[in-house]
Amino acid sequence: MDTTLHDPIVGQVLDGRYRVDARIAVGGMATVYRAVDTRLDRVLALKVMHPALAADVTFVERFIREAKSVARLAHPNVVAVYDQGAQGAYVYLAMEYVAGCTLRDVLRERGALQPRAALDILEPVLAALGAAHRAGFVHRDMKPENVLIGDDGRVKVADFGLVRAVGDVTNTTGTVLGTVSYLAPEQIEYGTSDPRVDVYACGVVLHEMLTGAKPHAGDTPAQVLYRHLNEDVPAPSAAVPGLAVELDELVAAATARNPDLRPHDAVALLARTREARATLDDAQLDAVPPGARAQEEAGANHRTAVIPRPAVHRTSRLEMPPPGRPDRPGRAWSWRAPRRGVVAAVVAVLLVLGVGTGVWYINSGQFTRVPSLLGQTEQEAKRRLADAGLEARVTKDFSDTFDRGTVMRSDPAPLARIRGDGPVTLVVSRGPETVRVPDLTGMPLAQARRALTKAGLAAGVVSREFDEQTAQGSVLSSAPEAGTSVRPDSGVALVVSKGSPVDMPDVTGESVDDATAELEEAGLRVRIAAVRVSSPEDEGSVARQSAAEGSQLARGDTVTLTVSKGPRMIPVPDVVGETTDKAKSLLEAAGFVVEVDRGFPFLDDTVAEQSVDAGDEAPENSTITITTKGL
């Protein structure tokens, strides 16, 4: 269903200038629309604050701060802000429209990326953030959703709605803003937001691009927050064997839990990224990740959380065993108790997700909080539950993350409140299980994905090749190949048939109807570009086509046609009295084709007449005839 039909702003013209055509995205603070600037005839994106928030001065100030901040960042990898205004309940920003998709869309569709592709995306992101950092701003909400990839391949950073001045780094009584999976430890614990929090988030994004999965997963935002505070981001090669050690080192440097150990800003991380790339050969850069996980982490981990942070005393501590396990025998192991602010933040997350504050106080003495048991041995987890007066029930399941015999999850989850001595079910790891890759040859892609899911695997990178013997959309091969034993949840790369190739015809100069009919008859889809261009072709005919004549496309591929506004009209220069050579030079430089008609009998080389009078306009590339003197 097209939900834009029910959006009252669609179809309106804001401030007598911006015509709202369609809704394209909805966020926590605003909705983004595709619109047209009717004064400049330019397609743009209009970011309109939710009317319910427009009455809140704090939100409006933060919203307008985005416009002022980004307007100072004249950088090709930053989504530009053109204008800011308000009409009634609508407070808006007019922004650059980027036709394409987000990095999140790419990761959801393709899973893990090849290192070259990951670095090709990371470098312009760091360039954009580096410009912001050097201008004195911190983004604070870097994530794949805010990385736009245009149809032309350009990468741009969007949504500077959470920017703050670099000097304004601590907020112990405000809120922690950002997305849980990408928050730096100091953001969670202290509310600190200097350029190094963006560096940390970029390290997490790089890990996700290389492996297809976030480094810290969890059933609740509280678990993810805890892991960011207490666990290092794992090396990407742990999930994708064979990745270069330089990539592991790059992720480790960017995601160091101690901010003093990270590159000091995005410019420094960009330099380190380019140094790492320079050490990699083509085989390392183009390595296909055979075992990368390509499934999205579901639930609250994706959401941007606004976490209230009550004022705390920095020296207060609270004992809170982490969801890890003691190290191997023979090595010393100790845990540092987290600050009370962490607990307050975790509790606040749970409240935001729906735990009513009234229930917190009513009959509180009848409830017990489930301790954190993840990663502990079965015996230790049972002992801790018994100490808390809770009953333990045990089930077992396979896991390639948790060691055999350790708790991989509990029901209810850690920190949940449970009445009386109610039971807690512990799911204990049986260790890794191996499964065989099924034979997917000849299956339609959707059916192959279902077969992989049923086998406990995931579809990894999908590439396509022409094959006249296999139906379009069906699987040609897989990597690893059928029958190979792999661990559950491993990604399986698929090569899918594009069917017989379709040779792209030349439809420039044809009417839109004729060109559309010809392409659709060839099995192609047609899209008409929103903006027309000047060209030598007649007005209303096809000026450009997105695929070159003779290129090979697959049936069902989309070809974009750009319609001509007709040739550009150019003033004709005055060449009467000039020599033939000089007249030709002047007319050709202005954009015309020149023909010379020499008078009879030929007397001299001076131009006596020109076919279009000087100062009149003629179509670009049209022919101007000049006549030399005769009798």
Annotated active-site positions, please? 141
- Are the C-beta atoms of residues 44 and 82 closer than 8 Å to each other? yes
Closest CA relative to residue 450, chosen from 462, 434, 438, 461? 438
Closest CA relative to residue 171, chosen from 25, 359, 309? 309
Asked, as a colleague might, if the bond just before 601 is cis with ω within 30 of 0, I would say yes
Taking residue 63's Cβ as centre, other Cβ atoms within 10 Å add up to 22
Taking residue 537's Cβ as centre, other Cβ atoms within 10 Å add up to 20
Three-state SS string over 430-441 comes to: CCCCCEECCCCC
- Are the C-beta atoms of residues 394 and 385 closer than 8 Å to each other? no
- Are the C-beta atoms of residues 496 and 463 closer than 8 Å to each other? yes
d(CA 158, CA 12): 25
d(CA 254, CA 168): 22
Beta strands 552-553 and 569-571, pairing class? unpaired
Tokens of 433: 């299980």
- Are the C-beta atoms of residues 348 and 228 closer than 8 Å to each other? no
Q: Is the dihedral of CA 275, 278, 281, 282 positive or negative?
A: positive
Which helix (H) or strand (E) element contains residue 308? strand 304-308
Compute, in degrees rounded to 10, the torsion defined by CA atoms 234, 237, 241, 244: -170
DSSP 358-415: HHHHTTGGGEEEPPP-TT-BHHHHHHHHHHTT-EEEEEEE--SSSPTTBEEEEESPTT
Tokens of 594: 């020149």
Burial 65-91 (b: 16+ CB within 10 A, else e): bbbebbeebebebbbbbbbbeebeebb
Separation of CA 389 from chain center: 46
Closest CA relative to residue 447, chosen from 467, 481, 409, 473? 473
Question: ∠268-272-273 over CA atoms, to 5°?
Answer: 115
Locus of tokens 């953030």: 129
Single-letter amino acid, residue 118: A
d(CA 16, CA 37): 10
Tokens of 28: 């926590």
Q: CA distances (Å), 176 to each of 42, 187, 294, 337, 477, in order?
A: 37, 7, 29, 21, 47
Closest CA relative to residue 404, chosen from 430, 373, 434, 378? 430
Tokens of 535: 């060209």
Tokens of 374: 């993840």
Closest CA relative to residue 160, chosen from 68, 72, 66, 82? 66
Locus of tokens 């000049």: 626
d(CA 366, CA 383): 21
Taking residue 4's Cβ as centre, other Cβ atoms within 10 Å add up to 16
